[in-house]
């Protein structure tokens, strides 16, 4: 009893599939003498298609039924060889354009075009470069900003030598160590997302000019926090005012660890500190090492809080929103202490 196959469209089969089907039909015809109609039922091919195969096999031999792949071989007519493609992909993944003495910060299509031209002497169109990138599985993406570490040796020196020395001094003098930082108080509109008809960008109306707000804060591993929000930027006089506030009524001497912002090194700041060495000292982090400052992670939480909830309509509402968050944080010392749990700041986690 013949098993009837569902009719198939031979054109939709792969080259290998069509070859196998033809050879099977011819062998069945030769070995069993089956009628064309029965061969059609067994193979699923149309009877007229089978008649064509049999006639061609009888006329030219069964080898004539062997079909070869059509079109150009994969990779043919490409301007770049496979070895060149592999080399370019490695450069994009492993290196920065600046490492190759190229005037680009990221791997853009013009940057890759220049790389190909300089390395292989081939000038590709930018559109063709885009096709290569798509074929390699590369997509354009928004970069993650990372602080540039200019001197890793200085960071190592801070973690292994300078901070342990500072901690020993604090223990000896019965002092507490704070970490301080400044940040702008603002709601970044580009973080906001809103729905609108396709092709129509939603409009966010806000005052063209606001009074700038800035915040300076300091935290300790014990969860203590001090902060000040002011109009304008943090200049030397405001920094001194914050230091005065930090030590007023403090039962212990304060070591305040800060970055190398110019205001921290101002002459008036140094003069103010000169006769207060028994109450407060500034200690400076190595350059380009913001991740080593636990207060940096408070600032991230602070900015996230400002971006959530209703948008502020003026400076006063923004000030109230910022102050509410910081006052609430002041009531959560365990949360403040968790900023020292970040892997880059854990070295400072031990209580002083």
Which pLDDT tens digit goes with each residue over 155-214? 899 999 999 999 999 999 999 999 999 999 987 644 445 554 556 555 555 554 556 899
Q: What is the pLDDT of residue 93?
A: 86
Mean pLDDT calculated for residue range 227-246 = 95
Domain assignment present for 49: yes
Find out whether 199 and 193 touch, Cβ atoms under 8 Å: no
Task: Give the range of the structural domain holding residue 104, as residue numbers without chain letter.
Answer: 82-136
Position of tokens 């800060």? 258
Q: Is residue 204 part of a domain?
A: no
pLDDT mean across residues, the chain: 84
Domain match, 279 and 168 both: yes
Is residue 148 included in any domain, yes or no?
Answer: no
Low-confidence winner among 57-71, 76-90, 217-231, 281-295 (lowest mean pLDDT) = 57-71
Question: Does one domain contain both 105 and 157?
Answer: no
* Most trustworthy range by pLDDT among 23-37, 95-109, 212-226, 287-301: 212-226
Give the span between the Cα atoms of 91 and 201, in whole angstroms.
Answer: 37
What's the helix, strand, coil split of the chain in %, to 5?
Answer: 50, 10, 40
Contact between 183 and 270 (Cβ < 8 Å): no
- Examine the domain organization and report whether 226 and 93 are in the same domain: no
286 domain residue, yes or no: yes
CA pair distance 226, 242, nearest whole angstrom? 9
Residue 100 has pLDDT above 50, yes or no: yes
User: 180 and 312, same structural domain?
Assistant: yes
CATH number at residue 275: 3.30.420.10
Please tell me whether residues 221 and 271 are part of one structural domain.
yes
Work out whether strand 176-185 and strand 225-231 pair parallel, antiparallel, or are unpaired: unpaired
Q: Does 22 lie in the same domain as 93? A: no
Radius of gyration of the chain (CA): 36
Residue 3 domain-assigned (yes or no): no
Residues contacting residue 50 through CB under 8 Å, at least 6 positions apart: 25, 36, 39, 40, 43
DSSP, collapsed to helix, strand or coil, labels residue 244 as helix
- Domain identity same for 29 and 110: no
Alpha-carbon torsion, ordered 180, 150, 165, 265, to 10 deg? -50
Is residue 128 very low, low, confident or very high in pLDDT (cuts 50, 70, 90)?
Answer: very high
Residue by residue, DSSP assigns 180-198 as EEEEEE---GGG-----ST
Does 226 fall in a domain?
yes
Average pLDDT over residues 90-104: 81
Residue 106 lies in a domain: yes
pLDDT at 269: 97
What pLDDT, on the 0 to 100 scale, is given for residue 191? 47
Number of domains in the chain: 3
Over pLDDT 70: what percentage of the chain? 83
pTM for the whole thing? 0.56
Confidence of residue 1 (pLDDT cuts 50, 70, 90): very low
Helix 295-307 and helix 315-330, axial crossing angle in degrees, nearest 10: 130
151 vs 94, 134, 147, 247, CA distance in Å? 21, 37, 12, 33
Inform me whether the pLDDT recorded for 297 exceeds 90: yes
Q: What pLDDT, on the 0 to 100 scale, is given for residue 352?
A: 46
Asked whether 262 and 270 are in contact (CB, 8 A), the reply is no
Question: What Å distances lie between residue 110 and 113, 115, 123, 217, CA to CA?
Answer: 5, 9, 11, 43
Residue 7 pLDDT = 61
Q: Which residue, among 180, 245, 209, 215, has the nearest Cα to 325 in the 3D structure?
A: 215
Whether residue 241 sits in one domain with residue 307: yes
Arithmetic mean of pLDDT, 9-25: 75
In the prediction, which pLDDT does 96 show?
78
Q: Tell me what pLDDT residue 65 has.
A: 78
Q: How much is the pLDDT for 94?
A: 83
Phi/psi at 257 (5° precision): -90, 125
Pairing type for strands 176-185 and 280-284 reads unpaired
Same domain, 34 and 116: no
**Span 111-118, mean pLDDT?**
93
19's tokens? 């070859």
Least confident range from 62-66, 106-110, 136-140, 321-325: namely 62-66
C-alpha 89/C-alpha 83 separation (Å) is 10
The string of pLDDT tens digits covering residues 33-86 is 888 888 888 778 888 888 988 898 888 888 877 776 565 555 556 788 888 998
Are residues 86 and 60 both part of a single domain?
A: no
The verdict on 161 and 126 lying in the same domain is no
Q: Would you state the pLDDT for residue 251?
A: 92
In terms of pLDDT, which residue wins out, 335 or 76?
335
Instruction: Flag whether pLDDT at 249 surpasses 70.
Output: yes
Tokens of 118: 């300089």
Q: Name the residue among 52, 43, 48, 36 with its Cα closest to residue 21.
A: 43
Q: Has residue 202 been placed in a domain?
A: no
Residues 103 and 173 in one domain: no
């Amino acid at each position: 009893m013949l098993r009837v196959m569902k009719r198939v469209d031979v054109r939709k089969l792969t080259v290998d599939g069509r070859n196998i089907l033809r050879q099977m039909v011819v062998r069945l015809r030769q070995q069993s003498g089956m009628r064309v109609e029965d061969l059609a039922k067994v193979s699923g091919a149309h009877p007229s298609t089978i008649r064509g195969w049999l006639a061609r096999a009888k006329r030219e031999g069964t080898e004539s039924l062997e079909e070869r792949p059509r079109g150009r071989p994969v990779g043919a007519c490409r301007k770049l060889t496979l070895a060149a493609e592999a080399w370019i992909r490695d450069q994009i993944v492993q290196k920065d354009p600046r490492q190759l003495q190229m005037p680009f910060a990221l791997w853009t299509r013009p940057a890759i075009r220049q790389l190909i031209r300089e390395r292989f002497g081939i000038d590709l169109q930018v559109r063709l470069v885009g096709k290569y990138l798509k074929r390699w599985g590369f997509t354009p993406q928004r970069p993650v900003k990372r602080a540039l570490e200019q001197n890793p040796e200085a960071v190592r020196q801070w973690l292994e030598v300078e901070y342990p020395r500072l901690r020993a001094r604090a223990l000896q003098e019965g002092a507490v160590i704070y970490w301080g930082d400044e940040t702008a108080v603002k709601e970044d509109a580009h973080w906001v997302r809103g729905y609108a008809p396709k092709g129509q960008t939603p409009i966010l109306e806000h005052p063209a000019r606001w009074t700038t707000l800035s915040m300076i804060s300091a935290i300790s591993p014990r969860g203590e926090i001090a902060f000040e929000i002011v109009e304008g930027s943090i200049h030397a006089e405001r920094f001194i005012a914050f230091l005065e506030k930090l030590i007023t009524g403090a039962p212990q001497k304060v070591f305040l660890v800060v970055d190398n912002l110019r205001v921290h090194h101002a002459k008036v700041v140094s003069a103010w500190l000169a006769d207060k060495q028994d109450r407060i000292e500034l200690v400076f982090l190595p350059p380009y090492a913001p991740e080593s400052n636990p207060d940096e992670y408070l600032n991230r939480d602070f900015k996230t809080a400002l971006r959530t909830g209703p948008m502020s309509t003026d400076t006063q509402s923004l000030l109230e929103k910022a102050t509410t968050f910081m006052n609430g944080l002041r009531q959560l010392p365990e949360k403040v202490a968790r900023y020292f749990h970040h892997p880059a700041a854990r070295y400072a986690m031990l209580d002083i």
